[in-house]
Amino acid sequence: MTSSRIRACVRILGVAAAVCAAVLVVLALVVTPADAELGNTVRIMYVHVPSAVTTYLAVFVTALGSALYLLKRSCRWDRIAAASAEIAAVFCGLALITGMLWGRPTWGVYWVWDARLTTFALLFIIIIGYLAVRRLPADPTVRSKRAAIIGLVGAANIPIVHKAVAWWGGLHQSETTLGTVNVQIGGSMRFTLLFGMLTFVLIYSWLLARRVQVEELLAHTESAGLAAAIVERRAEAEAEHIPVSR
């Protein structure tokens, strides 16, 4: 695929994400009814659940990129993992914030150390750790290898987060829409929740495409800067009549 075609696809993806986001606002805040038990706070679910699901997806892509980097030593996979991890941090933060804003009117507290919340907070810390390791001054290969290992650890935490309520219980409710045993919502509410997930996945895909582009430009700038520094140093050495090995 040519670069102009890729750019056109990314642009279409961005427009689709923006249109879906506008439709989601209308569906979630106007069209769907208030829940019989939760009241209007159910409208927070239409951004909270998609944020959490997109976090899972972003962490999974980071782990996939990390695993393929460790197997193939391809910088491209490392860049995809790095880009996805940054987006994962954004969605994970949003899931935590919206969860707290839902918890206050529903449970009476913003935060409780229940199994799902604690494991999800741990996932956020792992993602931040991944991003911190990428910024440590080290050889790029060593840095990428260390980050890849943390990326895999983050993905290993996802099944634990997902099953935390079933295994340890707590205040957080169990699966609402994608559960196989007890589907708790239906009709326009279920449709809006699924549409929210689709919208957030589109937003994630567009952000990933743009963020990978940034990583590629950064790598290009770094290598160009290094080449320029070598040329400059050689010129200095030649001016001082120091023998330079080539």
Partner 1 sequence: MNQWSYVIASWVAVAAVLIAYAVSVVRRARKLGK
Binding site for partner 1 (CB under 8 A): 25, 28-29, 39-41, 43-44, 47-48, 51, 87, 90, 93-94, 97-98, 101-102, 104-105, 203, 206-207, 210-211, 213-214, 217-218, 220-221
Output the smallest distance, CB 29 to partner 1, in A. Answer: 7
Q: Is 35 helix (H, G, I), strand (E, B) or coil?
A: strand
State the nearest-atom distance from the C-beta of 21 to partner 1, in Å: 8
8 or 71: whose CB is closer to partner 1? 8
Please list, in sequence order, all residues whose beta carbon lies within 8 angstroms of the beta carbon of residue 142, skipping any fewer than 6 positions away. none
Nearer to partner 1, 18 or 160 (CB): 18
Question: What does the alpha-carbon distance between residue 33 and residue 192 come to, in Å, rounded to a whole number?
Answer: 11
- For partner 1, which is the closer residue by CB, 154 or 196? 196
Q: What is the token pair recorded at 163?
A: 């099953």
Name the minimum Å distance from CB 130 to partner 1. Answer: 17
- Pick 17 or 115: Cβ nearer partner 1: 17
CA-to-CA separations, 30 to 144, 192, 226, in angstroms, rounded = 46, 11, 55
The answer to whether the Cα torsion of 66, 147, 91, 164 is positive or negative is: positive
In angstroms, give the least distance from the CB of 213 to partner 1: 5
Q: Residue 134 or 211: which CB sits closer to partner 1?
A: 211
Closest CB 206 distance from partner 1, rounded Å: 8
Candidates 32, 67, 59, 68; CA nearest to 47 is 32
DSSP state of 98: H
Token pair 């996805």 is at which residue? 84
Nearest partner of 50 among 92, 22, 3, 82, judged by Cα: 92
